[in-house]
Structure 1
């Protein structure tokens, strides 16, 4: 008993030392700061008793309140790379960390990911709830962060049906051809080397805006530029995190940063709802113009098929959130993926030549379209290799255990956050030969066909909460990439070598360092 009391006393002392300076920097009165210190002591005691009840995975020492935030924020080494190094050298594939007060298990190898998300999939389908995510999703009324309840299942069903409605016609092809031509014309007008990130960002925003709301806007449309700025700032805020998530009591005394975040989120939501209201006024089931119309059609079909009780779970808020998920979710990963693609095409001109030779042979004089996909084997393999080696969302979206469970021989208590180190899976030498090399041929079999889905290629996650838009995102990205390659030759400035190392900014994203390219017409 004395050993237990001694351990608790030691944990409390560490908590007080760690939070003494930290609490003084937080907003609010001395009462608020005292609550922070009290929370630190309580957390330390809780951690101690937790370890006596469960056989938890190993992991680095966690500070009270902060947990392993200092490791996450280390700018010398991206956290997902640090996790892989820890897995290889010290802790094994299942690692326990603390993100502030939140217990989190990271999975860093394919076998433990398969065990958790496939074999024990039901246990791992929850989402952790943070105050910022509640604001982001208007009370968890979206697909991304809602709990796996009946409303979430209905929303996924409607989302899948809406996306399939949209993919039936030539909508996507027309949008991509129009926007890629508009943006590549601007790129080709550049006389000198330039950073392609702004052009790719504008390209993706225009495509997603047109897909969602059906309007072909001018290149420098002020609303598009405003949306780009809004989502950039919102994503930056989310990537850096909020005190309100780590200390829930602070939601009653929000920081200035959080108040700005709420205001920006509301502006983005208002933009979506204004467009949805416009669509409702002119909606026709016989003229589906865009994703918003597809969602409204799926909603009406569900109203005819389902009971009033069921449809109460798919309100106008759910419609707005679904459109917002497609809008916001379709931009960031795509634009960063395309930036990596252009960087690797410039850095590997021999691969670029193979891609362009295939595109020319398959498409002739026209831009690549939906019907060309099956024949663009090497082009699609090149896209997949860029998605593999870059892994722009290296830790995926967090999940949460819905019950006490286990993985890799360790106990995982109910309510534990779970992160899959997708970067580690996509760069695992046991799964990929020479993973540091850019080699599209690894995705092509002996018969010259695109390999069926490889177990360790999981850019869209896996299991019950895999990305609902995967079947749309892959052909869309391929068409955009192929159209750019059809029109443009991408080169590096003389004497410059492409740097494949990421820009270290956030543990949430694997973004290329700024680079310049020279673009000439083909």
Structure 2
């Protein structure tokens, strides 16, 4: 009898949930229809699979848990390069080719400049995702924050900040080498050391403050930043099924702990010691922290929370650099021929290890940059989707306000229409012949023609940092510090894997788990 009662109760609950869902779906559909009809012309919605009650089309993506963008790509065979999905009860649009992506991000950039209202995003930024540059909707404050940061994140080659980035990178490399030299010939957790070096590069550049690698606050901050980078790169059922929240309270508390701990360390170890000593009478901002503190005193729209969250955002960028470098070293360990070509390029510039590689050497080292770009092609995908902040029109289809728009960069990066043998890891695809050199050789004055290579100047379908209003503002810092780390590591060491089968990278994300794969460094002999 008790079992029958429980079964009946469960059936009633399911009926209530399904009925509520159908009612919500009907109202949402009716509202969408009314909204679209308010314009001069009625526009159809993009085609797509029919959704199930409650879960929508999440069942389709569940077959591609490690790479949902592969699922997005396969759906193009049935529905074309633009189609609709319903995830939970959220209306979504997926765009899958270059022309459509440009239409979304460039032509319609001001209409599709929002970010999803995911609960996890709020938890990461003090209960309000508007505190984050990457996760907030577009606003005047967002524009102001980007303008303030641009000078420091995108410095010109001739600027003092560009030289500063190079000097800081080389100095921190010397500290990293001391740590690496103590761990030669053994399988080590290289990722944690690289992340600490990256974090110091960012901290010295933005805050004029370096931390000892054994500093417990510093270790905790670096660890939690890396956990957050992994978290943002992962899809989560809670994003589209918010009624699951009671089952994920433990995970949400963990997210809050990561972010609040980082914020407290930044406040106590960086900001409190600086904010009382800001010189308002000088035009020299000094570093990014000075610029933020000056804006706090000069601009009534900038709050103390604003600058703390901005500093947190940009310091956290070191996680992207560290993960990119670690993934690149993984591919180098699995491809010895690529390692040799990188080392030949490094040796020619550094005079066989006589000096550190600097940012000014980048233009003469196209192969290492091609390797970084190949890792980005092989591994990158949009981290955060876009959201329509107004009713819009894409490829003749109506896009109601609130629609989440996924940019399937994965398809651009893996399509045989764009790349020859896209499944191969081949840096040379980013190189082209430059001007050839003719020089005499030997005593008989023979002439040898030397073909020089350079990075391809324009690959329209390669968009690792996105385009339009929400393009990655920190891309120059990422390129600069990844270049300095990789060239100076490869100039000093041979990199091997303890077991090459252990070196596993997800083909559609730059994030690695905290414990990924060990690598072995061996000192090179010249």
Query: TM-score normalised by the shorter chain: which range applies?
Result: 0.7 to 0.9
Structure 2 residue runs of 5 or longer lacking an equivalent are 1-6, 37-42, 435-452
Determine the structure 1 residue equivalent to 2:477.
472
Structural mapping, 1:322-341, within 5 Å = 322-328=310-316, 330-341=317-328
1:207 to 1:22, Cα distance in 2 relative to 1, 3 A: farther
Residues in 2 aligned to 1:134 and 1:414: alpha-carbon distance in whole angstroms:
20
- Report the Cα offset of residue 368 of structure 1: 0.9
Determine the structure 1 residue equivalent to 2:390.
403
504, 510, 517: which one aligns with 1:515:
517
Tell whether the 8 Å contact from 1:487 to 1:521 is kept in structure 2 after alignment.
yes
Determine the structure 1 residue equivalent to 2:376.
387
Structural mapping, 1:310-389, within 5 Å = 311-328=299-316, 330-364=317-351, 365-389=354-378
Q: Deviations over 1:164-204 (max 9, x none)?
A: 57962643223322333333443342332345333333333
Q: Look up the SS of the partner of 2:454 in the other structure.
A: coil
Determine the structure 2 residue equivalent to 1:142.
132
Q: Deviations over 1:21-78 (max 9, x none)?
A: 9989xxxxxxxx97x6665233332455468665222333433333333444446651
Tell whether the 8 Å contact from 1:94 to 1:107 is kept in structure 2 after alignment.
yes
Q: Look up the SS of the partner of 1:490 in the other structure.
A: strand
Residues in 2 aligned to 1:90 and 1:472: alpha-carbon distance in whole angstroms:
40
Q: How many residues align?
A: 478
Q: Look up the SS of the partner of 1:204 in the other structure.
A: helix
Residues in 2 aligned to 1:261 and 1:220: alpha-carbon distance in whole angstroms:
24
| Residue 94 (structure 1) aligned with residue 82 (structure 2) | yes
Residues in 1 aligned to 2:404 and 2:328: alpha-carbon distance in whole angstroms:
32
Structural mapping, 1:242-257, within 5 Å = 243=238, 246-247=241-242, 255-257=249-251
The structure with the largest alpha-carbon Rg is 2
TM-score normalised by L of structure 2:
0.80
Q: Deviations over 1:312-339 (max 9, x none)?
A: 32222221121111122x1332222112
- Report the Cα offset of residue 466 of structure 1: 0.5
Determine the structure 2 residue equivalent to 1:502.
506
1:174 to 1:396, Cα distance in 2 relative to 1, 3 A: same
87, 112, 130: which one aligns with 2:118:
130
Q: Look up the SS of the partner of 2:390 in the other structure.
A: coil
Residues in 1 aligned to 2:433 and 2:13: alpha-carbon distance in whole angstroms:
61
| Residue 114 (structure 1) aligned with residue 116 (structure 2) | no
Q: Look up the SS of the partner of 1:121 in the other structure.
A: coil
TM-score normalised by L of structure 1:
0.81
1:440 to 1:65, Cα distance in 2 relative to 1, 3 A: same
1:273 to 1:469, Cα distance in 2 relative to 1, 3 A: same
Q: Look up the SS of the partner of 1:449 in the other structure.
A: strand
1:244 to 1:381, Cα distance in 2 relative to 1, 3 A: closer
- Report the Cα offset of residue 262 of structure 1: 2.9
Q: Look up the SS of the partner of 1:312 in the other structure.
A: coil
Determine the structure 1 residue equivalent to 2:167.
174
Residues in 2 aligned to 1:236 and 1:20: alpha-carbon distance in whole angstroms:
37
Residues in 2 aligned to 1:146 and 1:466: alpha-carbon distance in whole angstroms:
14
Structural mapping, 1:36-55, within 5 Å = 39-46=20-27, 48-49=29-30, 55=44
Q: Deviations over 1:249-308 (max 9, x none)?
A: 969x993433443343222222223322322133355776543234335667xx3xxxxx
1:323 to 1:411, Cα distance in 2 relative to 1, 3 A: same
1:515 to 1:146, Cα distance in 2 relative to 1, 3 A: closer
Residues in 1 aligned to 2:248 and 2:326: alpha-carbon distance in whole angstroms:
36
44, 48, 68: which one aligns with 1:79:
68
191, 194, 202: which one aligns with 1:197:
191
1:21 to 1:319, Cα distance in 2 relative to 1, 3 A: farther
51, 61, 72: which one aligns with 1:62:
51
Determine the structure 1 residue equivalent to 2:147.
157
- Report the Cα offset of residue 455 of structure 1: 1.4
Instruction: Give me the CA root mean square deviation.
Output: 3.4
Structure 1 residue runs of 5 or longer lacking an equivalent are 1-16, 25-32, 304-310
- Report the Cα offset of residue 243 of structure 1: 4.2
Q: Deviations over 1:392-421 (max 9, x none)?
A: xx2332211122222234221122111212
| Residue 295 (structure 1) aligned with residue 288 (structure 2) | no
